[in-house]
Amino acid sequence: MSATLIPISGLQVASRKDMGAALAKGGGCSAGSCGSSQGPADMDPETWAKVKDHPCYSEEAHHYFARMHVAVAPACNIQCNYCNRKYDCANESRPGVVSERLTPEQAARKVLAVAASVPQLSVLGIAGPGDAAYDWRRTRATFELVAKDLPDIKLCLSSNGLALPDHVDEIVAMNIDHVTITINAIDPEIGQHIYPWIFHDGKRRSGIEAATILRDRQLQSLEMLHERGVLVKVNSVLIPGLNDDHLIEVNKAVKARGAFLHNIMPLISDPAHGTHFGLTGQRGPTGAELKKVQDACAGGANLMRHCRQCRADAVGLLGEDRGQDFTLDKLPEEIGDATEARSAYRDWVAEERRDRAAATAEAEAAVAETAKPALFAVCTRGSGRINLHFGKATEFQIYEADARGIRFVGHRRADNYCLGGHGDTARMDEILRVLGDVPYLLCSKIGDGPRKRLAEAGIEAIDGLAQDYIETAIAAVLHSKQTARPGLSAERA
Ligand code: CLF
Ligand code: SF4
């Protein structure tokens, strides 16, 4: 490990491992056949160059890079039954809290401020509330302003697809490499139950006609963008009883038209959100139902499994939200230039990636003899390391290890156990519920009380491997179990 000091955004750290720890203090935050976990060996260099810093298009990148959304495009040309526009866009955000709406100028200033203090920032997305392609004037103005000041930040947009074909030339000309289209159905018989109306060619349309036009424009957008070299991710909202079986057909159809990734997301439905589905009792899927549909799509378009259903004003690594740190009233008067810090951070990531890839290969070789698959819940703030205190975790990354290797298989959310000096019993009950089938938990630190509660529920908490790579730590635990080495919790394996 090099002893050279690495200067990043005011941090002076002595090693790559220290860097991970230092960045973790500043803020917050992989899959079998999941294409999003692919690395440079699995795709052509041009495609890898586009996805390697994008936290949504590469599972591996989401350990290192952050995205931010700006809510500049509030107008929409369709109605989805899972959306209430008083809230964030349900396509790309967690409904519930109204976003701060911004003008393009305000948004560009906010992006500059975030880029100056979050060296991990690599992507600016416009993802609701409203439709980025329909509210194109504001979307374009925002992207143009940001591209002028921050040419190293990738531009990314999300749309329902209805207006997209009209803007493909501009999207290509503006170097927007990543576009998400939400396609919930390709059969208009099903689509008509998801979209009560669309507004197209100056007229409001409904029923089969609306669902057919929308489907045709979505697939046309996908084909046009793919032909022009833009990477397209398709989002589908899984609505039990409506499109669960049908999403396999959607997966095949979007794969045939060149989709880079397919992200099947669970419907979030709550009467309090005031959506049609929420008010009529349409439920969202269970975790098992979501996994069943995702597994049924194996062999089709590559699946994304690390989506966090971000808010329309989210800021930070996936799984964290620092949006409240960057509201307009908190932006500084003077915003410095942090281009060098971002560049230094990317150099550090390149080195770290090489180191982690070697460590992962070693770890996977070590688990090659593992007889039974084992699940691990990991507390991490990013950098691919065990670097988060159990009490502060608001999500657990779930890894599976077996003779085939060590894989990220998803994440599970729960409110953080620690409330500034004391633990919350109800929160612990929820953590035990979400981790019911997971025998091992890896974290940087855990108190005796919660360790005991977890142990009583059959979950062994291990905090002796802090700052190790996740894969290295998992291999160490499995090795210690196979060789019955005691004391993992108290000392390094
Ligand atoms: Fe934002 Fe979407 Fe771009 Fe990512 S989010 S516009 S592609 S930068 Fe990512 Fe958030 Fe999931 Fe979206 S985790 S909701 S997939
Ligand atoms: Fe809401 Fe987005 Fe659907 Fe428009 S496209 S209705 S903003 S979820």
What are 351-361's pLDDT values in tens digits?
Answer: 999 999 999 99
Q: How many CA atoms lie within 13 A of 168 on its CB side?
A: 21
Reported confidence tier of residue 240, pLDDT bands at 50, 70, 90: very high
**Calpha distance 288→244 (Å, rounded):** 12
Higher pLDDT, 15 or 365: 365
Closest CA to 444 of 460, 459, 461, 463: 463
Give pTM, 2 decimals: 0.86
What six digits make up the tokens of 271?
Answer: 């009467």
Closest CA to 405 of 30, 60, 56, 41: 30
Pick from 31-40, 148-157, 380-389, 412-421: least confident: 31-40
Which of 89, 139, 204, when mutated, tests ligand 2's pocket best, judged by the most ligand atoms within 8 Å of its CB? 89
Rg of the chain's alpha carbons, rounded to an integer? 22
**Calpha distance 356→340 (Å, rounded):** 24
Contact 291, 77 (CB under 8 A): no
Indicate if the pLDDT at residue 136 is higher than 50: yes
CB neighbourhood size of 203 (10 A): 7
What six digits make up the tokens of 50?
Answer: 């586009």
Indicate if the pLDDT at residue 40 is higher than 70: no
Indicate if the pLDDT at residue 337 is higher than 70: yes
429 Cα–ligand 1 center, Å: 30
At residue 488, the pLDDT reads 45
Pocket of ligand 2, beta carbon within 6 A: 76, 78-80, 83, 85, 89-91, 128-131, 160
131 Cα–ligand 2 center, Å: 7
Contact 326, 315 (CB under 8 A): yes
Kindly report the CATH number that applies to the domain delimited by 356-492.
Answer: 3.30.420.130
Indicate if the pLDDT at residue 324 is higher than 70: yes
- Domain residue ranges of the chain, discontinuous segments joined by +: 65-330, 356-492
| 65-330: CATH topology | TIM Barrel (3.20.20)
Tell me the β-bridge partners of 488. Answer: none
- What integer is the mean pLDDT of 89-104? 62
At residue 487, the pLDDT reads 40
What are 295-321's pLDDT values in tens digits?
Answer: 899 889 999 989 988 888 889 999 888
Reported confidence tier of residue 459, pLDDT bands at 50, 70, 90: very high
177 Cα–ligand 2 center, Å: 22
What six digits make up the tokens of 154?
Answer: 């990738």
At residue 93, the pLDDT reads 53
